Amino acid sequence: MASKEIIIEATPEGAVTISVKGVKGQACKDLTAAFEKALGKVVKVEKTKEWNEKPVKALHSVRQS
């Protein structure tokens, strides 16, 4: 499974940047929604190349015991 990260940076002036790595499509917006709501007004949104990629879904899973 790929690594997923949410990176939150704050400047001394109070500006906050939220970045998501390892998440494709709408799922990254879903992950940041609570942070955006807690922090207040969103001034700018920049979508990465991962935004346009479709999430990979496993068709089968194997569990070994």
Q: In the chain, what are the domain boundaries?
A: 5-52
Is pLDDT of 31 > 60? yes
| Residue 43: both structure tokens together | 């001034």
56 pLDDT tier (thresholds 50, 70, 90): low
Confidence of residue 40 (pLDDT cuts 50, 70, 90): confident
Nearest to 6 by CA among 25, 32, 29: 32
